[in-house]
């Protein structure tokens, strides 16, 4: 079993997910967007599994700071991918994969249940 958590270390939701995993003794690999970049090759799979709309965090500070033209330009998977590759902070966090398959985007009760049922 190979669990990977993608995100930014100082994100409160990522911290919550990592603490939850650690409290259950679940080993995982952490992929830090800031240090390792966005895995562009993984984005296509995530968008297929969850939809680009779910991956783009329109509630976050990063989205709110974007200019209106940039926001208006995110209309499909290609434009969303370009934005996410250029600006990792706009991706909803964390993204959690198990054995290369998307398990969760974000970390709420539903994501917790999805991860718990597989680890």
What angle, rounded to 10 degrees, do the helices at 40-50 and 77-86 form?
A: 140
Query: Pick the catalytic residue: 4, 5, 10, 11?
Result: 11
Known catalytic residue at 96: no
Helix %, strand %, coil % for the chain, to 5? 50, 15, 30
Q: What are phi and psi of 32, to 5 degrees?
A: -90, 110
Q: Are 84 and 56 in contact (CB under 8 A)?
A: yes
Nearest CA to 90 out of 45, 48, 43 is that of 43
Question: Annotated catalytic sites, by residue?
Answer: 11
């Amino acid at each position: 079993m190979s669990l990977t958590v993608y995100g930014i270390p100082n994100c409160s939701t990522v911290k919550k997910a990592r603490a939850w995993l650690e409290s259950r003794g679940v080993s995982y690999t952490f992929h830090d967007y800031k240090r390792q970049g966005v895995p562009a090759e993984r984005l296509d799979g995530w968008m297929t599994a969850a939809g680009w709309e779910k991956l783009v965090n329109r509630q976050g500070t990063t989205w709110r700071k974007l200019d209106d033209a940039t926001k208006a330009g995110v209309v499909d998977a290609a434009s969303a991918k370009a934005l996410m590759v250029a600006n990792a902070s706009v991706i909803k966090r964390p993204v959690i994969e198990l054995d290369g398959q998307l398990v969760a985007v974000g970390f709420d009760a539903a994501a917790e249940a999805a991860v718990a049922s597989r680890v």
